[in-house]
Amino acid sequence: SAASDVYKRQVSYRPANIHSVEETYCYENGALIVTQNGRSVMKLFPGIVLEDGAGIASVNLSARIATLEGTRGVMASNSIENIRLTSQDFINIYDSDQEYTSENATTKANVTSVDLTIYTENTEAWGKYFEDSANETHLQEGTDYNITKEDYSVKFSLFPENKTINFKAYNAIIKMKTEIQ
């Protein structure tokens, strides 16, 4: 069996064609992002979902984080090459609905804040995604959430006022394979 690298990064494609616009297509954490002239936009949304909870005093946040397995490297070709991404496993990392026992009492977690940090070069696309998700859930910036963009990361801090967070986190293991490996 060949050794594999496991990394939470991205798969990118940049066509080298003088007749087309210079752009890069990037798959990272379940999102497909297109970058053109230093600007990035999300074309396929990730497995990070923010929505109103069942009750008036709750917010649901589900984060499916993708871990890519495969050999790291650079591929160059003058013909069509395929990259195959296949789901290998789906692991539950955290579920705020899960009960736990402490000192003879069974209870659930009371989650009041969550920080999600995405390490990326596509900070514009991720910042807009988090902002749009929060706006659709009627959350107010500064009162319920903050978005912090740095050079290579975007942090979404969720702390909804007078609401609890139903938080679930999963790790999706994605096997990446090319035909030239």
The whole-number pLDDT of residue 17 equals: 66
What's the average pLDDT block by block, 10 residues per block, for the chain (181 residues)? Answer: 44 70 84 90 94 86 88 68 83 88 82 94 96 95 97 96 93 82 49
Which pLDDT score is estimated for 180?
Answer: 62
Q: Find the length of the chain.
A: 181
3-state secondary structure of 123: helix
* Residue 168: closest CA among 52, 51, 53, 64: 64
**26 torsion bin: left (phi>0), alpha (psi -120 to 50), beta (else):** beta
**Parallel/antiparallel/unpaired status of strands 164-178 and 58-70:** parallel
Give me the pLDDT at residue 74, please.
Answer: 67
Beta bridge partners of 51: 60
Q: CB-based burial of residue 175 (10 Å sphere; 0-12 exposed, 13-18 middle, 19+ buried)? A: middle
pTM assigned to the model: 0.82
DSSP 128: H
Phi-psi map region of 112: left, alpha, beta (phi>0 left; psi -120 to 50 alpha) = alpha
Place of tokens 């514009």: 124
